[in-house]
Amino acid sequence: MSPSQIIRKDLAPLVETMLEKLGEDPKREGLLKTPERVAKSFEYLTGGYRAELEEVVNEAIFHESVSEMVLVRDIEFYSLCEHHLLPFFGKVHVAYLPAGKVIGLSKLPRIVEMYARRLQVQERMTTEIAEAVQKVLQPQGVAVVAEAAHLCMMMRGVAKQSSITTTSCMLGDFRSDSRTRGEFLSLIRGG
């Protein structure tokens, strides 16, 4: 049995119990397949636990003698808040200053997705992404900014629908050089 099948087999009965505890009848027509659908959904939404950085990067690191900033902006992501299991979603901007190596551009969104597809807090996710890029490239610097809307703030609690949370992690030259950091921040604002 694959890890995915095990997850689904173990989660579906728990979802059925949850429906009963909420006062629902899991045997009614509209809910008959809900436990299996929820289990499959959670398996997908937490797929980052079953991914390894080395597999995601897949040897897509190339030696290049460039040193100017590389930026991939507006990487969409969806994650689940570990406190309420409600979605948060938005965009991540990832930049690095090469030190003899570059990474295939599609690998940066894949790294973002690997960490987003876990139960998360945005602050930790932002740092994990930056540290992963640092680990695989050893660049002069890494900058990551994440901007997200959190349904746990929008649907419950303070119920503020227009709030956006912004987090950042700056490593190397992005942390120590205000001009480099300023250039990055200007670029992600579209300037």
pLDDT in tens, 106-147: 999 999 999 999 999 999 999 999 999 999 999 999 999 999
CATH topology (fold) of 3-45:
GTP Cyclohydrolase I; Chain A, domain 1 (1.10.286)
Q: How many helices (H) and strands (E) does the chain have?
A: 8, 7
Q: Cite the active site residues.
A: 81-84, 122, 150, 152
User: Where in the chain are all domains bearing CATH 3.30.1130.10?
Assistant: 60-188
Percent of the chain residues past pLDDT 90, beyond the cut: 88
Percent of the chain residues past pLDDT 70, beyond the cut: 98
Spatial contact of 93 and 145, defined as CB atoms under 8 Å apart: yes
HEC secondary structure over 114-176: HHHCCEECHHHHHHHHHHHHHHHHCCCEEEEEEEEEEHHHHCCCCCCCCCCEEEEEEEEHHHH
pLDDT for res 191 = 57
pTM for the model: 0.94
CA 179 to chain centre: 27
Ranges 71-85, 150-164, 173-187: which has the least confidence: 150-164
Helix (H, G, I), strand (E, B) or coil at 91: strand
CATH topology (fold) of 60-188:
GTP Cyclohydrolase I, domain 2 (3.30.1130)
Mean pLDDT for 16-26 is 96
User: Where in the chain are all domains bearing CATH 1.10.286.10?
Assistant: 3-45
